[in-house]
Structure 1
Amino acid sequence: MRRLQRQACAGAAAAAAALGPNNAGAAAAQHFWSRPDLHPPIVRILHRAGRTAPGFLFIAPKRKTPQAGPMIFDNRGRLVWFRPLNTRGVSDFRMQWYRGRPVLTWWQARPTGIKTGRAFYVISDARYRQLAIVRPAHELPGDIHEFLLTRRGTALMTTVDSVRRGGRRVTEGGVQELDLRTGEVLLDWRSVSHVPLSESYAKAPRNRDLPYDYFHVNAIDVDTDGNLLVSARNTHAVYKLERRTGRILWRLGGKRSDYRLGRGVRFAWQHDARRQPDGTIRIFDNGAAPRVHTQTRIIFVHLDARTMRARLMRTIVHRPAIVAINQGNAQLLPKQHLLVGWGHEPQVTEYDRRGRVLLDLRFGSGADSYRAYRYQWVGRPIGRPSIGLHRGRVYVSWNGATTVARWQILGGSDPRALRPVETIARNGFESSAPAPRTPLVAVRALDRHGHRIGLSKPLRRA
């Protein structure tokens, strides 16, 4: 066996772009000879200046992108896993824990063109197999904003419903907690029973039969005492709810804040309110739209329960300024790094504990992702590696596999007796090498210990 340890030629994997159809226009995408069915958006690294937190990056590109779906990639923008969906609606893709195991979860709308059915949440395992489909009870649709698995074996979900209040049609926001084992509804909180329409900053339609989205719930967090923090975009407020009864314990921000807001605290059209380990509350302050602030920022607010005052402790902004008119989040990482997904703007930034940029990137052209995350994820897909032949080269990939270190190129005339020709180092999602001059070609995946972990189907050379 002729064994060569070399860097595989992967230029065609990321450099070749393909244009795909989209109901909002065409956008550039990646192209792979071994997986011509995959067209994830191209990721451009704008700035990299230091050691980021470990792990891969998670987004769910949608809007102007040839294919929408959950996507994982590395710090160099190289694809790890992508699942194109039959819908333009995908959101909140992340890693969570389910029954003691790491899983992938996301929100998914009904298929494009289908007018019946409800949106739902997906739970998939490390082999990318679907474990569960979760829907809120009482025929409510799964809402795009939050699907949070808890240590109690429950799921916290944002919900929406259309009701009549004050002679008009109103879209109310809700929070539902569902026991995933029994299906029991532990909490079904509805905003119109607790928050009057007068708290909203959103302008009501003149036509009273058109829905008035006065609340717009967009985040749920479990507070340190087990109660819930709930963010409502259109009231510019964060609410603390008693988890068992749904009673509002306090309001932060908005027209009826229980806390007196210190200088720089007031936020608007916000997302992703989370309690931090140091006791502060972190908020993705969109500041638009309509625009209230000059730029979107992430703020850390200290609440003094004795004096009922809220004080601004820290602010993170992007340079040059970004105004995210909707969506967005931040994630606390090891060593107090902070990952920010800029929502409507297709950009992701990682900051160190001092606010210095360690990584800045953009994806797609006109795409967006509701949130962005970083996780240490190990994927072991079922099925085989995929290969393709093009102009005398063999291209190989294995969508979602994170433990492949090298590829062993095989050749021969008998599919049951193919022999190793050479071994190449894995280089990104798709690697390539000169195809052996044999009737049949296949590729075997090896892990870092040299163990065989996967074998492609053989291809016959033309």
Structure 2
Amino acid sequence: MTDVSRRTLLLGSAAAVVAGGAGYLVGARREPDEPAPASAVKVPKYRSRPDLDGLPDVTITTAAAGTVPGHVFLTPFAGALRGPLIVDEQGSPIWFKKVPDPATVAIDFKVQRYRGRPVLTWWEGTIGGTGGQGVGQGEFVLADESYREITRIRAAGSEQADQHDLVLTDRGTALFWVYDPVRYDLSPVGGPSDGVLHDGVLQEIDIATGRRIFEWRARDHVTLPESYAPLPQGDSAHLPYDYLHPNSVSLDRDGHLLFSARHTWGLYKVHRTTGEVIWRIGGKKSDLRVDERSSFSWQHDFQRRRDGSYSIFDNGAGITVEREYSRGLIFRVDEKAKTVTFVAEHVHPQRLSAPTQGNFRELADGGTFIGWGQQPHFTEHAADGTVRLAGHLPADNQSYRAYKAEWPGVARDQPALGLRVDGGNVIASASWNGHTGVSRWRARAGGQPGALSTAVEAARTGFETSLTLAGLPEYVVVEALDERNQVIGSSSAIPVRT
């Protein structure tokens, strides 16, 4: 069998111009008789960072008491500004990074640990596939607390990493999927004898060296008749048949591998060393008896929970619709009795149905956080299923997954400053993309950059905070203050133009 080049679907987008430097002056000097109609001037969303003008709004619809501390991690998929995004519980941005054009997206943005330190990880690449099912060609990025890139994790061999999941292990390795197109005889299932199969390849890579530690190929263990996905037809008959569509990987308590395969409706436990399938749950060849309330389809994100139960995001819809709404599903597995029994389900208040994507993760207090995939929503639930935080991206956007975690971000660059004149005063707009330690802002003004005596302060109010300086000074600088009122960063001194 030989490898076949992949077909890719480039995602077109409008280019965004990213402004550099630590300060921005909104508006320019003009001659007194030059007309300046108000309608011709577009007011940026963030005066200190006009390059983030196209950042999608995140709306919070439910904010109850008792939420777990942390920030929300998203990957806006549409628009000119696509990339990893952190927001607070009010929906205000904390950090954003635009991924490169053309046609690049970010997916699966989350906090993990590497060499004992918290890191950010996300996938960058392009999305293609057949039958509307996303197949990624790209690589994973690891960044430290200062958002500096540590390394990029790439698949071994000639193929590229798929976007669906990345797990960093305490061995210093990374687990992820590769969708490998191989020549394959599909005639036993009604396809062409010279067909192409998307083989699900699970790789474990040593992060420091890029060396392949372990590899598992689905076609050696999971048969084609187990799939619920239809074969490509007609002119598309020789496109890769995505019979498995693996979309998550995780580790069980005993160190063996857990993964979800969307197109077989199957959950699998695989021996970490031999690669043998220990058991299957769901689909056409389940090794365990699944009770009615625990049955699932087109699912994502198979995880072991701290109390020994398991969870998935049960889409209930995909190529077909099997359930009216999607849900976070929790169940117990009795390996001796070979049974799967229902524990609980968590549902969006709007009974959302997400035909693609999504995730369901346990929080520190036993609650859960759900990303609703194709539906641009996220929810945090108490242990009893009560919604205590709910929000969403714009309706024309989506985030493959959504996570909640604490993050100690320390930006390397300077705070940004935008200035505008309003009547006889100057409005200073301050922000610091990525720094989570800012409690207050101070603006200082004066006649020279080294002699800024006038000062005003204000509590941080979201991504950007505005401060009003009386009169028209020559220069302004802003300083970021921590909770002890100590200066932790300062912008450049920016001249005021009237």
Give the aligned partner of residue 33 of structure 1: 47
- Of 296-305 and 180-189, deviating more is 180-189
* Of 152, 160, 172, the match for 2:171: 152
Alignment partner of 1:358: what SS?
strand
Determine if contact 2:13/2:80 at 8 Å carries over to the other structure. Answer: no
Match of 1:340 in 2: 370
The sequence identity of aligned pairs, in percent, is 38
1:319 aligns to 2:354 (yes or no): no
Q: Which residue of 2 aligns with 1:446?
A: 481
Which of these residues, 377, 380, 385, is aligned with residue 355 of structure 1? 385
CA drift of 1:118 comes to: 5.4
2:122 corresponds in structure 1 to 106
RMSD, aligned α-carbons? 2.0
Structural mapping, 1:183-194, within 5 Å: 183-194=210-221
Shift of 1:109: 0.5
Distance in 1, matches of 2:150 and 2:454, equals 37
Post-superposition shift, 1:380?
A: 0.7
Q: Deviations over 1:238-289 (max 9, x none)?
A: 1111111211111111110000111222211100000111111101100111
Q: Who is 1:163 aligned against?
A: 182
Say whether the 8 Å CA contact 1:435–1:441 is kept in structure 2.
no
Name 2:313's counterpart in structure 1.
Answer: 284
Confirm or deny: 8 A CA contact 1:187 1:245 kept in the other structure: no
Give the TM-score, by structure 1 length: 0.90
Moved over 3 A (4+): 22-26
* Change over 3 Å in CA distance of 1:322–1:244 after alignment to 2: same
User: Cα gap change, 1:30/1:352 in structure 2, threshold over 3 Å: closer, same or farther?
Assistant: farther
The alignment partner of 2:263 has SS state of helix
Does the C-alpha gap of structure 1 residues 24 and 129 become closer, same or farther in structure 2, counting only changes over 3 Å?
closer
* Structure 1 Cα separation of the partners of residues 121 and 367 of structure 2: 23
The residue identity in structure 2 corresponding to 1:148 is: V
Q: Distance in 1 between matches of 2:364 and 2:278?
A: 31
- 3-state secondary structure, aligned to 2:51: coil
Show structure 2 runs of 5+ residues with no match: 1-10, 16-42, 129-135, 186-192
Equivalent residue, structure 2, for 1:309: 339
1:31 is paired with a residue whose SS is coil
Q: Which residue of 2 aligns with 1:458?
A: 493
2:461 to 407, 420, 427: 427
1:122 paired with 2:122, answer no
In structure 1, stretches of 5+ residues that fail to align are: 1-21
Matched, 1:196 2:223: yes
Q: 1:404 aligns with which of 414, 417, 438?
A: 438
Quote the Cα distance in structure 2 between the aligned partners of 1:24 and 1:299: 36
1:310 CA displacement: 1.0
Distance (Å, rounded) in 2 between the aligned partners of 1:158 and 1:30: 40
Query: Which residue type is aligned with residue 131 of structure 1?
Result: I
Contact 1:65 1:364 in 2 (8 A): no
2:288 corresponds to 1:259: yes
What is the aligned counterpart of 1:222 among 244, 251, 262? 251
TM-score when normalising by structure 2: 0.84
Partners of 1:287 and 1:295 within 8 A in 2: yes
Distance of 1:90 and 1:371 partners within structure 2: 11
Question: Aligned to 1:246, what secondary structure does the other structure show?
Answer: coil
Question: Aligned pairs, how many?
Answer: 434
Amino acid at match of 1:410: R
Give matches, 1:51-130, under 5 Å.
51-62=66-77, 64-87=78-101, 88-109=104-125, 119-130=138-149
Return the alpha-carbon distance in structure 2 between the equivalents of residues 244 and 363 of structure 1. 41
